[in-house]
Amino acid sequence: MAREDRFQPMTQFESVLSAASQLSVDERLLLIDALAASVPDDHPPTHSPEWLAEIERRSAEIDSGAVTPIPWETVRERLFNRTASDRAH
């Protein structure tokens, strides 16, 4: 490996990831939430065929009434409450 290959400067992504990994768990969760909210609706992620099949299966369960979805706000609140509870112990 050439010397210049070993000492490539960090990409912007690597730099941001490195900085984010230094945040507290609460700060990382807030960052995840903010980043997810910043993705435009017209830029959906690309999924593997396996994940698309899982999405279809779960959607069918919801459509059939076999499961009741939980609103994101409730899931988010539970996540933050669990994190706060874990810190207290």
Q: Do 63 and 77 fall into the same domain?
A: yes
Q: Looking at the structure, do residues 25 and 61 belong to the same domain, yes or no?
A: no
70 and 88 inside one domain: yes
Q: What is the pLDDT of residue 3?
A: 47
Q: What's residue 18's pLDDT?
A: 94
- In this structure, are 83 and 52 located in the same domain? yes
Count other C-beta atoms under 10 Å from residue 31's C-beta.
Answer: 14
Number of domains in the chain: 2
CA distance to 1, 10, 13, 28, per residue, from 5 (Å): 6, 12, 18, 31
- pTM score, two decimals? 0.48
* Alpha-carbon span 35 to 29, nearest angstrom: 10
Query: Does residue 37 form part of some domain?
Result: yes
pLDDT tens per residue across span 41-60 = 888 778 899 999 999 999 99
Residue by residue, pLDDT tens for the chain (89 residues) are 444 556 667 799 999 999 999 999 989 999 999 998 898 988 877 889 999 999 999 999 999 999 999 999 999 899 888 877 666 66
At 79 the pLDDT is 86
Q: Which residue range(s) make up the domain with 16?
A: 10-41
